[in-house]
Amino acid sequence: MVTRREFLGILGGGIAGLVIGGALGYNLAPKPTPEKAKAGKLPGVPSEPLKIGGMWFISGKFGTYGDMAKKALNMAVEEINSSGGILGRKVEVTLKDEADRENVLKNIRKMVEEEGAEFLIGIDSSGDVLKLTPVVENELHVVTIITHAATPKLTACNNLHYMFRISMYEEPIDIAAAKLVAEKFKDVKKIASIGPDYAYGYDSWAIFSNALKKLLPDVTWMEPMYSKLGTEDFSTYIDKMLSYGPDLVFSSLWGGDAATFVKQANSKGLFDSIKYYLNPMLGATDTLKAIGDGNVPAKAEVWGSGRYWFLYPPHDVYPLNKNFVNKFKSKYGEYPPYVSATSYTAIYALKAAIEKAYVAKGAWPSQDDVVAALEGLAIAGPMGPVAIRNEDHQGVYSVFWGKLKRGAPNYPHPILDDLQIFDFGEVFPAPKQTYVKCG
């Protein structure tokens, strides 16, 4: 359990001020917009609805990401519109399916050029976000807030102007994993790994292994393994790991793949032969729901992380998260995963930036005005206060790692317990610095 004093200490003085100040309740209790704004009477503000385009995986094996994003977006839009919208403009969100792999860029362009989206949010895949970057920056010139795609290359290897990332990305989580191993699992001698066969999987392994080599130089590293997205049978990979005889397995599999691997590895005895299993994407409630209490390993310690965990920040010291979780659970009958929290926060970050820019300008802000307002913005989100850095447009907040345990009788799925919290200052690389290779 993290106490109030510990939580505020983790945040640091400047960000803690956001927690205990007026911004704490901002997201879940938006201040009423003046009556003239509700009527669309603010000078220089268009009367038509404000359209925002979003893209996540909506169908297929990873469709829960889009579903959970949509639910949180609906919640945020309902809150904002019931309080007068954004400067009097009603908010409307249009979604496209990222699972339509061949038309990702076409659909992004369509939302902006044909459907009138003034801002963009979302993107699940790291590969997609890297393809999207030159389109947004050089063609569309539309402020875009990334809520999921985790490649360090987005913010470390590009000079972004219109693009921002509100969510945690993989590097601080993987660096925190290395610190966790070095501090708590010093008996580890041999490490194996498996990840998805694309940019995220390669980068996550490179970050974790390079960071840990500095802390535990005597560890033996097995050849990393990579599987295609949507793999249904991991037997070959699991058998190879068993032949390696590792103490620890690091896995960056996510979504349905992560759940499938854990269940199959458990049935084949992998968790009886290793001591530790780490997955930086395990802290997603949809994944944990798919794993189920019956598949929580009895012997090996299983640790997970993510962009957000519904029990952190602690509800008794951070009411915003408590209110968000309770409202989401009451409305949808389940606990919110990280894509819900980051999508929800993205809408409110846009709202805060637009209103900030309007006050400075006295008219509806341009895209560049909103860019300037987002740079350096601190926004209170369910995951805690998020500060958007000027230099790379990356949102920063504290990182957690927790140990998997059965959730019953209090929760309908496994949960993460014994949380280890890392201040963003100790695990986020400085702007433009990264373990991965650019290009």
Q: What is the pLDDT of residue 11?
A: 54
The structure's pTM equals 0.88
Rounded to a whole number of angstroms, the distance between the first and last alpha carbons of the chain is 42
Q: What is the pLDDT of residue 30?
A: 43
CA distances from 21 to 29, 108, 183, 308 (A): 14, 38, 34, 22
Question: Where is 51: in which H helix or E strand?
Answer: strand 50-56
Q: What is the pLDDT of residue 23?
A: 37
Residues, the chain, total?
439
Per-residue DSSP letters for 261-285? HHHHHHHTTHHHH-SEEEETT---H
Residues of the chain with CATH 3.40.50.2300: 4-168+312-396, 171-306+399-427
Pairing relation of β-strands 190-196 and 248-251? parallel
CATH of 171-306+399-427, one of 3.90.1720.10, 3.40.630.30, 3.40.50.2300, 2.40.160.50: 3.40.50.2300
Cross-strand bridge partners of residue 145: 121, 164
CA atoms within 13 A on the CB side of 126: 21
Per-residue DSSP letters for 288-333? HHHH-GGGS-SSSEEEE--S-BTTBS-TTT-HHHHHHHHHHHHHHS
Which of 337, 344, 340, 342 lies closest to 415, judged by CA?
Answer: 337
Q: What is the pLDDT of residue 12?
A: 52
* Block mean pLDDT (10 aa), the chain, length 439: 52 45 38 48 92 96 90 97 96 97 97 98 93 98 96 95 96 97 95 92 93 95 94 96 96 93 96 97 91 95 96 96 98 95 98 97 97 97 97 97 96 96 95 91
CA–CA separation, 76 and 148 (whole Å): 17
CA–CA separation, 376 and 213 (whole Å): 33
Helix intervals (H) in 150-244: 153-156, 170-184, 199-215, 235-244
CA distances from 29 to 78, 88, 177, 328, 350 (A): 12, 17, 35, 14, 16
Cis omega (within 30 of 0) on the bond before 429? Answer: no
CA–CA separation, 307 and 384 (whole Å): 11
Pairing relation of β-strands 190-196 and 225-227? parallel
Rg of the chain, C-alpha, whole Å: 21
Residue 411 burial (10 A CB sphere; 0-12, 13-18, 19+):
middle
Pairing relation of β-strands 144-146 and 91-97? unpaired
CA atoms within 13 A on the CB side of 373: 23
Cβ distance 328 to 56 under 8 Å?
no
Q: What is the pLDDT of residue 15?
A: 45
Q: What is the pLDDT of residue 439?
A: 77
Q: What is the pLDDT of residue 24?
A: 38
Residue 416 burial (10 A CB sphere; 0-12, 13-18, 19+):
buried
Which of 184, 196, 204 lies closest to 275, judged by CA?
Answer: 184
Note the CATH number of domain 4-168+312-396. Answer: 3.40.50.2300
